[in-house]
Structure 1
């Protein structure tokens, strides 16, 4: 899945091709910090506090973000994420199906996954785990690349999305990406993955095993990388960091680029230049 971090306007009138269906030009980001915070608060209310589409209400178990984190990450995270940290803390949602994570505490796990494949990534960056789901999917923010990388521990895969890569100079895009990151990831991944019958696995585990805490995940007894089934019968509650570290060592980690060679087909739809991918554009900014 690809999170869309730019608001859509109404379809353009009179067009007939795919590019005429949507105008992906973002609404300008306000320059007033108070207005920025108001937009972030509105997204928090809509996506996390009282979501209409899914039962992802806050659990009320949040650990406050240490004050020194706001200084440490002031230059690498957008204001919208820092606001969400201060507003919600390291909170769980939907009875533990989704969590805002402590990036310092999760740094060793991220290292275990990224270090073996550093030379395979299309760029070098420092990544922080800002959120994860109950199965251990980790959603990363790159200090220089923003919200473009996530870790799938079930299929031992690192997914890179060049459409959501925004460098530090792309401040407005990073603010919008930070504003929708937690709600977007929760909506798209709180119920991932599906089992062999295409039923969401985390809700089954929640019913069978109960909720996980901030340092736990639903882990496979026999990992899929070793032939275990993706089934609730193969799950247990286990320590998150230990389990995910072991998962990184079970088999080769692959890099997935959902856009990749499809950029030429995607670009006209979103009114972009087919000759220049977001990866090269960001590298030049």
Structure 2
């Protein structure tokens, strides 16, 4: 790995330690996994996994994940979209409520997949400035933003946050679990704490992802560029 890339990761690791209240080091990739996939993912990602493993942040609010385990789920979520034509996406993390965070292998594009409401929030980038350092900074910024307490939480029907209440009522999550509404919102289930259960994320997401098509939301960054809106100052 390039020395500059290693330095950036090390700086972010220090930043993580001082800005997240809880980081629990997770299982690390086995040597067999590394040997099989060393050319599948960028070298800096293996360096991050070597330091953190598939870690959990903020008491299980955000998790780094093994992208291979999420390939089938991601294919289900994207099958009626054009995103696979734009880039080859893989899941780098997920929230306590099953929200999936993906990045592109060749561009700085990102997709946030909302499992509760069956929505995809894209931030698409083309091929400008896609150096290793640019891709690395983009990935690390995703972890920094998506791992915060504000980003991991969702609201119930009365606009009250759910994560801390789920944590208290249901306990901390295992690496294969999420908090989920049962019945799912897409089937008309109300967003109330009483309907929150701790479920196997792979079974639940696979089931919900097949109930209806995902709604692709507006790419805010592209729309801002299209309209020529520039920040003040």
Tell me which interval the TM-score lies in, with the shorter structure as reference length: 0.7 to 0.9
Q: Which residue of 1 aligns with 2:13?
A: 44
| Residue 37 of structure 1: how far off its partner (Å) | 1.5
User: CA-to-partner distance for each residue in 1:94-137, whole Å, 9 max, x for gaps?
Assistant: 2211111111111111111112x13x438343221110011000
- Contact 2:145/2:151 (CA < 8 Å) preserved in 1? no
| Residue 67 of structure 1: how far off its partner (Å) | 3.2
Structure 1 residue 94 corresponds to structure 2 residue 62? no
Q: Which residue of 2 aligns with 1:113?
A: 77
In 1, distance between residues paired with 2:150 and 2:200?
20
Alignment of 1:118-197 (within 5 A): 118=81, 120-121=82-83, 123-162=85-124, 169-187=130-148, 190-197=151-158
| Residue 58 of structure 1: how far off its partner (Å) | 1.7
In 2, distance between residues paired with 1:124 and 1:78?
19
In 1, distance between residues paired with 2:43 and 2:121?
25
- Contact 1:76/1:143 (CA < 8 Å) preserved in 2? no
| Unmatched 5+ stretches in structure 1 | 1-31, 272-285
Q: Which residue of 1 aligns with 2:31?
A: 67
| Residue 71 of structure 1: how far off its partner (Å) | 5.3
Structure 1 residue 243 corresponds to structure 2 residue 204? yes
Structure 1 residue 204 corresponds to structure 2 residue 153? no
Runs of 4+ in 1 over 6 A off after TM superposition: none
**CA 1:202–1:104 in 2, change beyond 3 Å: closer, same or farther?**
same
| Unmatched 5+ stretches in structure 2 | none
Of 58, 65, 76, the residue aligned with 2:23 is 58
Larger Rg computed on CA atoms? 1
Q: Which residue of 2 aligns with 1:282?
A: none
| Residue 166 of structure 1: how far off its partner (Å) | 5.7
Alignment of 1:26-45 (within 5 A): 33-45=2-14
In 1, distance between residues paired with 2:36 and 2:176?
23
In 2, distance between residues paired with 1:241 and 1:196?
25
In 2, distance between residues paired with 1:64 and 1:262?
40
Q: Which residue of 2 aligns with 1:17?
A: none
Name the TM-score, length of structure 2 as normaliser.
0.86
Q: Which residue of 2 aligns with 1:256?
A: 217
- Count of paired positions: 232
| Residue 189 of structure 1: how far off its partner (Å) | 5.9
In 2, distance between residues paired with 1:219 and 1:201?
11
